[in-house]
Structure 1
Amino acid sequence: MRMKRRDFLSLGLSTAALAACSKVANVPSTTSIATPVAPNRGTNSTTLRLGFQPPYVAVYALREQKLLEKAFAGQSTNFEFRRLLSLKPVTEAISAGAIDLGLGGTPVAAIASGQPIRIIALVERSPKTHALLVLPNSPIKTIADLKGKKLGNPSGKSYYFAGKVLERAGLKENDVKWVQIENDAGGAALLSGAIDVWGTWDPFYASAEVAKEVVPLVDGEGYQLNYVALFGRIDYIEKNPEAVQKFLQAYKQALTWAKDNRQAAVNILVKENKLSPEAASLTLGRRNLIFEPPNDEYRQELINQSQLLTRLGLIKQKPNWDRAIDTTLAKTIAAS
């Protein structure tokens, strides 16, 4: 079941309730984005387009610190930043050739379906940033109580965290009613009763929690490692390895800046995402920023995810991780 804003009205959700989404998940809902960085002057003009999601503070640091301009000094390169609300729009944009690189949880189902995506670096390991949320007065008190309930999230049945939670509790995927709903609309749907439980992540989770509109039934700790990866379109990576490495170097510097300048990083999240200071601080506090090439722990997590999705019938074949993972581009930079 895929739910869009117009569908809320048929479920009895008023315009006022839709506006409440801004209160519950106080993050702008637009999926379009960013103004290109002006190119440096040089002989060859190229463009590097990045799709990212709201909580990735290093992207904002890249722009504010002008780290890409420094990394690509002397070259005529345009940089475009496109803000997208969840993983699926990022992978769709990569496959359509609308962006070159993306940030997010690993798109296992997309890679399994043959989309031309390659993973090149790990930039977070943050399990506690995901949660299944319910209203404070909800009758749902345990995972077993989810049976027969409507579970909304952007990925539907392919949301690995939710699937793992159900499996461990002895529930089957058809024991809940899956509602595919984007992050900027999930809070309003939960408030209205259109869904019973909301699967989401920071900053949407943090905003809802700080506003005391929801409580977490369970978070991702112990269910998923939640590595955040940098990945890209295979043909772009193969044709532009030097540009990709320069981008990785700049992104690593942005991560270091965010870790060394916590309050400034919080302030960026407040400004860019229209978050409260409390929600921005909570969002950053649950994120473990790293920079390293894909490792064995990460590969095993991907195997676990693909096995679960195969059992659920959501993918027909397991991805070829040897083809989908490139450790070479990030190795030198991680060691520097």
Structure 2
Amino acid sequence: MFRTSLSVLFAGLFSASLCFAADLPKEINIVYVKAPFNLQNIVMKEKGMLEKAFEKDNIKINWKTITSGSKQTQAMAGKSIDISAVMNTSSLLMANGVGNKILIATGVSHPADTFAIVGKPEAIQSIKDLKGKKIVGPKGTVLHQLLVAALNKEGMSIKDVEFISMDQPTALAALLAGRVDAALLAASGVIKAEKSGTKVITTAKDLVNVNLVTTVTEDFAKKYPEVLDTVVKVQREALDWIKKNPEEAIGLGAKEHGIDMDDARKLASWSNYYNTLSEKDIEGLQKDQDFLFDNKMMEKKVDVKSLVLPSALK
């Protein structure tokens, strides 16, 4: 009788441990994005903060470099990515507009000053000069939204220019080689372009509500809520460390971007890092959705509040 009871007890404990193990993923596939100047992401990766946080659970962290927001959302739809440490809300909204349910886990930054349209100074003096010109940059991103917003302000549309989708490094190279008239760039890309003799035509400030956030697939958020909470906790610990060690953190960013400390300090000061979304951020999501939908960049409207997880609000 006693042995039978022990057998039942151990069987129950073994079953419970299996159940707990099933509640944890074997690995987390997370996007690494260093641009525009994502110090939280850089610090997390360089210091192995996520690896340490999940070491006891034997969860492997797989960092994947995907710079385009639209490509990030495609990878999340294909289930090869669980979390994006940094995604612009324009890409998030467009993904949800086609039924790719991606949610906001926490905030990252509001770096409007770091996103810009950069052009040849001899040919492009203003947005109006872009008419009929060849412009390159990543489609389906906040930079794409910036171009449309800037053109709209001057009474033009995307049809008035020759827009070619291209990632930022390639866009910068094309601009500096003289193969295109303007490029959509961010952060160190803008600084490098200016130092090479090009001109900033406009930044996103007062044109686009630039909000970078950490996102997660709906499936992962539902299946592993405690794991996601740990990722958010580590992200916020990274920001706390940055605030306490600003020069060391900026040094890591300067090295990763290949720029000097003065330029790195400038980008950090423009980044406006944050964690918790405010009511203003929610309103910004709604305004961005209206803009994207009205300009046929988003197929279907969604309830923006449903895209924000509780972890992003506290």
Q: Same fold (TM over 0.5)?
A: yes
Farther-moved stretch of structure 1 (297-306 vs 235-244): 297-306
User: So what's the TM-score if we normalise by structure 2?
Assistant: 0.84
The structure-2 alpha-carbon separation of the partners of 1:124 and 1:151, relative to structure 1 and needing over 3 Å to count, comes to: same
Residues in 2 aligned to 1:248 and 1:242: alpha-carbon distance in whole angstroms: 10
Determine if contact 1:135/1:215 at 8 Å carries over to the other structure: yes
User: So what's the TM-score if we normalise by structure 1?
Assistant: 0.79
Tell me the equivalent position of 1:302.
Answer: 285
Given candidates 113, 116, 123, the residue that maps to 1:128 is: 113
Compute the RMSD of aligned alpha carbons.
2.2
Farther-moved stretch of structure 1 (302-311 vs 127-136): 302-311
Determine if contact 1:122/1:228 at 8 Å carries over to the other structure: yes
Q: Secondary structure at the match of 1:275?
A: coil
**What pairs up with 1:193-204 in 2 under 5 angstroms?**
193-204=178-189
| 1:68-103 deviation line (CA, Å, top 9, x unaligned) | 244335322111211222212211211111111111
Identity of aligned residues (%): 21
The structure-2 alpha-carbon separation of the partners of 1:311 and 1:250, relative to structure 1 and needing over 3 Å to count, comes to: same
Q: Secondary structure at the match of 1:98?
A: coil
Determine if contact 1:52/1:104 at 8 Å carries over to the other structure: no
Tell me the equivalent position of 1:53.
Answer: 33
| 1:186-239 deviation line (CA, Å, top 9, x unaligned) | 112112332211111112222323x24322111111112311111111100111
Given candidates 266, 269, 278, the residue that maps to 1:282 is: 266
Residues in 1 aligned to 2:110 and 2:125: alpha-carbon distance in whole angstroms: 28
| 1:135-189 deviation line (CA, Å, top 9, x unaligned) | 23x2211111111112211116981111111111221221111111111111121
Between Structure 1 and Structure 2, the one with more helix by share is 2
| Amino acid paired to 2:219 | D
Unaligned 5+ residue runs, structure 2? 1-19
- Structure 1 stretches of at least 4 aligned residues deviating more than 4 Å after TM superposition: 42-45
Tell me the equivalent position of 2:53.
Answer: 71
Unaligned 5+ residue runs, structure 1? 1-41
Paired residues in the alignment total 287
Tell me the equivalent position of 1:9.
Answer: none
The answer to whether 1:115 aligns with 2:100 is: yes
How far apart are 1:301 and its partner, in Å? Answer: 1.9
The answer to whether 1:80 aligns with 2:80 is: no
Tell me the equivalent position of 1:155.
Answer: 139
Residues in 1 aligned to 2:25 and 2:292: alpha-carbon distance in whole angstroms: 41
The structure-2 alpha-carbon separation of the partners of 1:250 and 1:319, relative to structure 1 and needing over 3 Å to count, comes to: same
| 1:94-118 deviation line (CA, Å, top 9, x unaligned) | 1111111111211221111111211
Farther-moved stretch of structure 1 (229-238 vs 171-180): 171-180
Larger Rg: 2
Residues in 1 aligned to 2:71 and 2:296: alpha-carbon distance in whole angstroms: 22
The answer to whether 1:317 aligns with 2:297 is: no
Determine if contact 2:109/2:273 at 8 Å carries over to the other structure: yes
Determine if contact 2:209/2:288 at 8 Å carries over to the other structure: no
Tell me the equivalent position of 1:27.
Answer: none
The answer to whether 1:236 aligns with 2:206 is: no
Farther-moved stretch of structure 1 (113-122 vs 244-253): 113-122
Determine if contact 2:29/2:82 at 8 Å carries over to the other structure: yes
Residues in 2 aligned to 1:118 and 1:157: alpha-carbon distance in whole angstroms: 16
Determine if contact 1:85/1:184 at 8 Å carries over to the other structure: no
| Amino acid paired to 1:207 | K
Tell me the equivalent position of 1:184.
Answer: 169
Farther-moved stretch of structure 1 (235-244 vs 85-94): 85-94
Farther-moved stretch of structure 1 (260-269 vs 65-74): 65-74
How far apart are 1:62 and its partner, in Å? Answer: 1.4
